[in-house]
């Protein structure tokens, strides 16, 4: 054990550390542990700590995953089933537990490399677009501008600089007030409310009636106004605001994140500009899952853990058109629809008070990108072009959203789950078919394992087992599977995803679906291969951190290139264990659904099928539309 590591710290006290080292070397020489030649050689060495680097929990591989693993472990070890023999809880920091995760170091390395390469391009494009504009003041209505301002102010209040100034101004006064009226929670908003009450008596009551404050806050606010310390508190407020404003807007030397090197760089910047600068970085959330075992092979929760700790694998964002394959799968399974069936690209309406949908008003959504063409499109074309019109037509044919919610339930997204506001996570409204729901990358990737696993959902897992310090297994994961789609219909969906959204440049058979939400806030790509499913989201931490056009803001540009880079790296490394030659499982025998659209057309002509199902004015029989984005 080192003697007095503080006193003999070679960085702080190099002379003392050198003397102590020489003493230890002399003792080793006297005890014949080292010979005379080695002793002289070692004594002549200078104390060099320039290469020393303290180990940090802010750097290393899979940092976002490690943080989420810690949260998961805390919840698991709270469970009485996983306790010590005496009934006490395990402490995973102190009790010598061995945690065996599913993360594959090779997959993780390539996922992080691909994320850096891709996000460097995304970030450069973002900064070029917003070079002379401020996202917090960019054109919007007054309500949204207030939301942005409040969000920025909240980030200011979370800084150490703000809290230091707060304590300097109000620390002693608040102690006096608490000794006078009891323990109260006073923030800058509290003081501002009190000042407003003095200027406009009754404003506190209005806030109470609007439920902006509760009864307790209302009562102690009135007590503070009557306190003998209130005049001093109010007087201090003006100087506090001045000091905060000066501290936050005065440029100082600091380190900021550099997206090119993925490291830090020195700069001169005000703390406020620093907050904005870092908030303007686009983020990524992606996991790679083995669809047969559910094992999570790679986890990328953001671009840099030190500066951006929020994990974007488990956070929920609007999923956009990545939801549409669930609608297609339901229609194919329940209606027996072939991908070669054609539907007209026109505006469809679900009328108000339809007993199947229970809408108070008629719902007539438009297409996301262009107006309605009137052309007849089969499902290959419709999914590739992400036509809202055809998706709405399918839900009308289904007659309800419940079959879709039921399929999602079987694909691991619990239809009974509710949001914080009380509404269903997957609402019972037809708008869900266009991707209005908020789901996480973790949930979406789990659902898409169904397509790569012959119609069987496999729940993602990232811990295989946990052992105590003696090697006793205290936790072992068990696979969770459920049949969601019959193998035949599932293969039809795989064919759809391959032909409408695959990446032709990859060696491995693959397919997928992009997603883009309103105002280009979220970009998604859900990619499938026979042995790996990769879900990816890219966007800003705030909805106003976004691109301004479809050119850069669509999922095929924001998210899909990451998938292509990641898979390419796995394909190029023979030691990765990734097999690009494996094929999707095709069930034996007749699928019961025709996938060859030329054959399908002949069948329809022969049987005098309904005209709405016959191809019209469409001479193109090539059904493969790959929406590759440049790497």
Burial class (CB in 10 A: 0-12, 13-18, 19+), 105: exposed
What pLDDT does 53 receive?
61
What pLDDT does 609 receive?
43
- Nearest Cα to Cα of residue 620 among 289, 377, 414: 377
What pLDDT does 611 receive?
46
pLDDT > 90 fraction of the chain, expressed in percent and rounded: 75
C-alpha distances in angstroms, 72 versus 65, 316, 317, 479, 568?
10, 17, 21, 17, 31
The average pLDDT across 549-578 equals 96
The average pLDDT across 150-177 equals 92
If one compares 39 and 319, the residue with the highest pLDDT of the two is 319
- Distance, CA of 46 to CA of 626 (rounded, Å): 62
For residue 300, the cross-strand partners are: 286
If one compares 264 and 50, the residue with the highest pLDDT of the two is 264
The average pLDDT across 503-532 equals 96
- Distance, CA of 300 to CA of 593 (rounded, Å): 38
**CB-based contact 194:225 (threshold 8 Å):** yes
If one compares 454 and 132, the residue with the highest pLDDT of the two is 454
**CB-based contact 337:393 (threshold 8 Å):** no
How do residues 419-449 score in pLDDT, each as one tens digit? Answer: 988 999 999 999 999 999 999 999 999 999 9
What pLDDT does 19 receive?
85
What pLDDT does 347 receive?
96
What pLDDT does 262 receive?
85
How do residues 199-248 score in pLDDT, each as one tens digit? Answer: 999 999 999 999 988 998 899 899 999 999 999 999 999 899 999 999 99
Confidence of residue 500 (pLDDT cuts 50, 70, 90): very high
What pLDDT does 17 receive?
84
Half-sphere exposure of 274 (CA within 13 A, CB side): 23
Residue 59 has pLDDT above 80, yes or no: no
HEC profile of 80-114: HHHCCCCCCCCCCCCCCCEEEECCCHHHHHHHHHH
Residue 161 has pLDDT above 50, yes or no: yes
What pLDDT does 178 receive?
85
The average pLDDT across 374-402 equals 96
What pLDDT does 433 receive?
95
**CB-based contact 408:428 (threshold 8 Å):** no
- Distance, CA of 131 to CA of 113 (rounded, Å): 27
Q: What is the pTM of this model?
A: 0.85
Residue 4 has pLDDT above 80, yes or no: no
If one compares 608 and 107, the residue with the highest pLDDT of the two is 107
The average pLDDT across 82-87 equals 91
C-alpha distances in angstroms, 233 versus 186, 193, 194, 224?
11, 13, 10, 10
- Nearest Cα to Cα of residue 67 among 57, 75, 77: 57
If one compares 48 and 454, the residue with the highest pLDDT of the two is 454
Residue 617 has pLDDT above 60, yes or no: no
Mean pLDDT of the chain, nearest integer: 91
What pLDDT does 607 receive?
63
What pLDDT does 151 receive?
95
Residue 12 has pLDDT above 90, yes or no: no
Residue 96 has pLDDT above 50, yes or no: yes
In degrees rounded to 5, what are phi and psi of residue 558?
A: -75, -35
- Distance, CA of 456 to CA of 491 (rounded, Å): 12
If one compares 298 and 163, the residue with the highest pLDDT of the two is 298
What pLDDT does 605 receive?
74
Q: Indicate the DSSP class of residue 295.
A: B
- Distance, CA of 193 to CA of 197 (rounded, Å): 6
In degrees rounded to 5, what are phi and psi of residue 296?
A: -80, 115
Residue 615 has pLDDT above 90, yes or no: no
Task: Please report the domains of the chain, with CATH numbers, ordered by start residue.
Answer: 1-49 (no CATH), 155-249 (no CATH), 283-613 (3.40.710.10)
Q: How many CB atoms lie within 10 A of CB 398?
A: 19
CA 347 and chain centroid, separation: 33
The average pLDDT across 185-210 equals 91
Six token digits for residue 467:
């052992």
Confidence of residue 612 (pLDDT cuts 50, 70, 90): very low
The average pLDDT across 590-599 equals 89
- Distance, CA of 516 to CA of 554 (rounded, Å): 5
Confidence of residue 132 (pLDDT cuts 50, 70, 90): confident
What pLDDT does 631 receive?
39
What pLDDT does 629 receive?
41
- Distance, CA of 562 to CA of 558 (rounded, Å): 8
CB contact set of 26 (below 8 Å; sequence gap of 6+): 39
Residue 504 has pLDDT above 60, yes or no: yes
Confidence of residue 15 (pLDDT cuts 50, 70, 90): confident
Q: 533 by DSSP, 3-state: which? A: strand
Confidence of residue 172 (pLDDT cuts 50, 70, 90): confident
């Amino acid at each position: 054990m080192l003697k007095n590591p503080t006193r003999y710290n070679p960085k702080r006290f190099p002379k003392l550390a050198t003397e102590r080292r020489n003493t230890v070397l002399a003792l080793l020489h006297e005890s014949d542990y080292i010979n005379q030649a080695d002793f002289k050689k070692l004594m002549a060495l200078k104390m060099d700590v320039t290469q020393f680097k303290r180990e940090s929990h802010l750097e290393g591989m899979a940092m976002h995953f490690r943080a989420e693993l810690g949260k998961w472990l805390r919840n698991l070890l709270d469970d009485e089933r996983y306790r010590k023999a005496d009934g006490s809880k395990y402490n995973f920091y102190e009790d010598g537990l061995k945690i065996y995760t599913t993360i594959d170091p090779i997959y993780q390395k390539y996922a992080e490399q691909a994320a850096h390469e891709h996000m460097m391009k995304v970030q450069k494009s973002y900064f070029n677009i917003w070079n002379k504009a401020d996202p917090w003041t960019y054109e919007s209505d007054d309500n949204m501008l207030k939301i942005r301002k409040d969000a920025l102010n909240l980030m200011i209040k979370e800084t150490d600089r703000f809290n230091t100034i707060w304590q300097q101004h109000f620390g002693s006064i608040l102690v006096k007030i608490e000794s006078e009226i009891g323990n109260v929670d006073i923030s800058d908003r509290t003081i501002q409310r009190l000042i407003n009450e003095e200027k406009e008596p009754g404003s506190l009551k209005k806030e109470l009636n609007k439920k902006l404050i509760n009864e307790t806050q209302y009562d102690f606010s009135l007590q503070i106004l009557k306190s003998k310390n209130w005049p001093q508190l109010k007087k201090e407020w003006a100087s506090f605001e001045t000091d905060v404003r000066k501290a936050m807007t005065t440029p100082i030397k600091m380190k900021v994140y550099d997206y090119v090197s993925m490291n830090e760089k020195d700069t001169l910047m005000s703390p406020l500009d620093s907050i904005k600068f870092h908030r303007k970085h686009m983020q990524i959330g992606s996991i790679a899952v083995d669809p047969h075992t559910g094992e999570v092979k790679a986890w990328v929760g953001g671009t840099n853990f030190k500066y951006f700790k929020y994990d974007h694998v488990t956070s929920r964002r609007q999923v956009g058109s990545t939801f549409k394959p669930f609608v297609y799968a339901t229609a194919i399974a329940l209606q027996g629809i072939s991908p070669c069936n054609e539907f007209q690209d026109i505006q469809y309406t679900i009328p108000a008070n339809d007993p199947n949908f229970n809408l108070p008003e008629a719902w007539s959504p438009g297409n996301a990108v262009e107006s309605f063409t009137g052309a007849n499109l089969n499902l290959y074309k419709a999914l590739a072009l992400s036509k809202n019109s055809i998706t709405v037509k399918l839900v009308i044919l289904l007659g309800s959203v419940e079959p879709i919610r039921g399929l999602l339930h079987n694909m691991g997204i619990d239809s009974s789950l509710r949001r914080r506001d009380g509404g269903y996570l997957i609402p019972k409204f037809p708008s869900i078919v266009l991707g209005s729901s908020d789901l996480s990358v973790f949930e979406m990737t789990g659902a898409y394992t169904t397509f790569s696993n012959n119609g069987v959902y496999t729940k993602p897992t990232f811990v295989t087992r946990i052992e105590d310090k003696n090697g006793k297994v205290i936790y072992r994961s068990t696979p969770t599977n459920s049949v969601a789609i019959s193998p035949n219909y599932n293969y039809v969906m795989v064919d759809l995803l391959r032909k409408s959204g695959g990446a032709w440049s990859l060696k491995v058979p693959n397919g997928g679906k992009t997603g883009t939400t309103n105002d280009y806030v979220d970009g998604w790509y859900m990619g499938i291969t026979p042995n790996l499913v990769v879900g990816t989201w890219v966007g800003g931490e705030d909805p106003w951190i976004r691109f301004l056009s479809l050119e850069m803001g669509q999922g095929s540009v924001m998210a899909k290139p990451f998938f292509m880079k990641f898979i390419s790296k796995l394909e190029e490394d023979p030691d990765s264990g990734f097999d690009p030659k494996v094929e999707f499982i095709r069930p034996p025998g007749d699928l019961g659904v025709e996938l060859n659209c030329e054959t399908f057309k002949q069948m329809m002509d022969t049987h005098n099928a309904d005209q709405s199902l016959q191809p019209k004015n469409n001479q193109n029989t090539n059904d493969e539309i790959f929406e590759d984005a440049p790497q």
